[in-house]
């Protein structure tokens, strides 16, 4: 302590330099404090003396101390707003609960800051009124089957309404459509009836297909049987024709042989008698002989008796020789 007092007494302080140094350090600290780095997908809205001055985009920026201030830090990322269910009434007087999900993005930070006080509440109320207007023009069945149409029309309406707020609505989705319990029960019964109907239709179509297949099989079998009978009849007729042809050829050859040997009327008459006997075959009781063949018939009988007598004499002679 004595040493410090001694050094201070030997070297008097220069207060002017100390003050200047302190002021410089304060200015440097103030300058560093007023330097800001804007990250990606962010925007800073800057006011000067309470009036909008500029919008800082991504990068490093500096503002005037005590004059400029950051009014709001705005995220430019897409946001999701999930609103609670809203009670809506369809055209056929059915009350249901529908909740929506809105995907939006801030495209103009200045309008977003100065266009509306609370943009989220504004979007929620706007989506509720728009949804009621759209559902009021639709019936229950149309509401349940027209989600894409409702989503598209709501997005267009909300996008136009939020454009002065610097907000762009990218997509609107109906998250849940909750009809009354009575309607749900009726829908379940209707769905069950539709399933039973489809089941009965499939069963009947299966039976119909089976009957068609059986009928087609019977048809093909009948066609095959008819073709077989046709083929059999053709083969039989061809066999009969061939047999007749063979008989005619044999008859023609026989006639040609008779003609070649020069047969007289007696031989022809005998052959005719043999033919008539063959025709009768013991079954006919009466045979009518033509008049021109009666004489020849008697001649044939005499000739046969002569042949039989000669045969008897020859046998007797042979018997005498043997004794």
Taking the C-alpha atoms of residue 22 and residue 56, their distance in angstroms, rounded to an integer, is 32
Q: How many CB atoms lie within 10 A of CB 179?
A: 19
Predicted confidence (pLDDT) per residue in 183-229, tens digit: 778 878 888 888 888 888 988 888 888 889 888 888 888 888 888 88
Summarize the confidence of residues 40-49 as an average pLDDT: 90
Lowest-confidence region among 69-73, 155-159, 212-216, 259-263: 259-263
DSSP classification of residue 291: G
Task: Give the tokens for residue 111.
Answer: 């309008």
Burial class (CB within 10 angstroms; exposed 0-12, middle 13-18, buried 19+) of 278: exposed
CA separation for the pair 161, 179 (Å, rounded): 29
CA-wise closest residue to 37 among 56, 12, 51: 56
pLDDT in tens, 273-282: 566 555 555 5
Q: 113-153, pLDDT tens digit by residue?
A: 888 888 889 999 999 999 999 888 888 888 888 888 899 99
52-94 pLDDT per residue, tens = 898 989 888 888 888 888 888 999 999 999 888 888 888 888 8
Cα–Cα distance measured from residue 177 to residue 141, given in angstroms and rounded to the nearest whole number: 12
Q: Tell me which of 171-175, 224-228, 268-272 is least confident.
A: 268-272
Could you give the CA distance from residue 48 to residue 66 in angstroms, rounded to a whole number?
9
Domains of the chain by residue range: 2-75, 78-179, 199-262, 263-305
Predicted pLDDT of residue 102: 93
Q: List Cα–Cα distances, 177 to 72, 183, 294, in angstroms.
A: 37, 12, 120
Contact 143, 97 (CB under 8 A): no
| Fold held by 78-179 | Tetrahydropterin Synthase; Chain A (3.30.479)
Q: Distance between CA atoms of 5 and 260, rounded to whole angstroms?
A: 184
């Amino acid at each position: 302590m004595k040493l410090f007092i001694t050094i201070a007494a030997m070297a008097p302080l220069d207060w002017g330099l100390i003050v200047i140094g302190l002021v410089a350090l304060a200015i440097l600290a103030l300058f560093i404090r007023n330097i800001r780095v804007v990250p990606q997908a962010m925007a800073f809205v800057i006011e000067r003396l309470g009036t909008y001055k500029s919008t800082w985009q991504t990068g490093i920026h500096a503002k005037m101390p005590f004059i400029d201030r950051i009014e709001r830090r705005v995220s430019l990322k897409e946001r999701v707003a999930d609103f609670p269910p809203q009670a809506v009434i369809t055209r056929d007087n059915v009350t249901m609960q529908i909740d929506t999900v809105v995907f939006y993005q801030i495209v103009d930070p200045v309008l977003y800051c100065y266009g509306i006080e609370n943009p989220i509440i504004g979007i929620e109320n706007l989506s509720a009124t728009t949804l009621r207007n759209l559902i009021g023009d639709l019936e229950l069945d149309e509401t349940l089957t027209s989600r894409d149409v409702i989503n598209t029309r709501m997005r267009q309406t909300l996008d136009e309404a939020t454009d002065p707020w610097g907000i762009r609505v990218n997509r609107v989705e109906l998250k849940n459509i909750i009809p009354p319990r009575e309607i749900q029960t009726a829908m379940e019964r209707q769905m069950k009836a539709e399933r039973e109907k489809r089941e009965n239709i499939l069963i009947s179509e299966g039976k119909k297909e089976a009957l068609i297949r059986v009928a087609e099989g019977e048809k093909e079998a009948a066609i095959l049987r008819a073709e077989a009978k046709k083929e059999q009849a053709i083969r039989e007729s061809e066999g009969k024709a061939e047999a007749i042809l063979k008989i005619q050829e044999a008859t023609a050859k026989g006639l040609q042989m008779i003609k070649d040997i020069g047969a007289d009327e007696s031989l022809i008459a005998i052959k005719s008698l043999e033919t008539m006997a063959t025709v009768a075959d013991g079954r006919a009781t009466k045979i009518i002989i033509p008049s021109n063949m009666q004489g020849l018939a008697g001649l044939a009988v005499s000739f046969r008796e002569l042949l039989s007598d000669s045969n008897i004499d020859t046998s007797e002679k042979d018997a005498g020789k043997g004794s």
